């Protein structure tokens, strides 16, 4: 049961990242709604935007994977009652024009 809950949590997190990326790139790159298809400029912008956000997410996840075991180790050996410092999560690039903010 715990594994199924973890899988659902992972899926939810993935979908949140995907939806935010889609919204951010759409807001940044699409400006002309007169045509059914994307313009070449919009297409290049979307490729660049999505690629940048995906690379950023991979770097953040790599850092998270490296830090998490250390944080668990520190928590395991900390005296009871000592607060554990939590790192904020960020799913967007700092230069994002959208209203996205880091999640805690």
> What would the pLDDT profile of 67-104 be if each residue is shown by its tens digit?
888 888 777 777 776 666 665 555 444 444 444 444 43
> Could you give the count of Cα atoms lying within 13 Å of 96 in the half-sphere of its Cβ?
22
If you ran DSSP here, which 8-state letter would residue 94 be given?
T
The CB-side HSE value for 102 (13 A sphere, CA atoms) comes to 10
pLDDT at 98: 42
Q: What is the pLDDT of residue 29?
A: 96
Number of domains the chain contains: 1
* pTM recorded for the entire structure: 0.56
Does 8 reside within a domain?
A: yes
Q: How far is CA 103 from CA 3, 21, 54, in A?
A: 24, 14, 17
Look at residue 10 and tell me if it is in a domain: yes
| pLDDT score at 89 | 57
Q: CA 44 → CA 29, 32, 35, 94, distances in Å?
A: 9, 14, 16, 21
CATH code of the domain covering residue 53 = 1.10.287.810
Note whether residue 95 is domain-resident: no
**Residue that is written with structure tokens 């290049």 in the block:** 44
């Amino acid at each position: 049961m715990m594994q199924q809950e973890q899988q659902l949590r992972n899926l939810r997190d993935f979908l949140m990242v995907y939806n935010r990326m889609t919204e951010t790139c759409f807001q940044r790159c699409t400006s002309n709604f007169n045509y059914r298809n994307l313009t070449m400029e919009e297409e290049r912008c979307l490729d660049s935007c999505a690629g940048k956000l995906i690379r950023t997410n991979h770097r953040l996840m790599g850092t998270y994977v490296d830090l998490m075991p250390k944080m668990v180790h520190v928590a395991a050996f900390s005296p009871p009652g000592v607060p554990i410092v939590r790192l904020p999560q960020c799913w967007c690039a700092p230069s994002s024009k959208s209203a996205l903010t880091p999640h805690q």
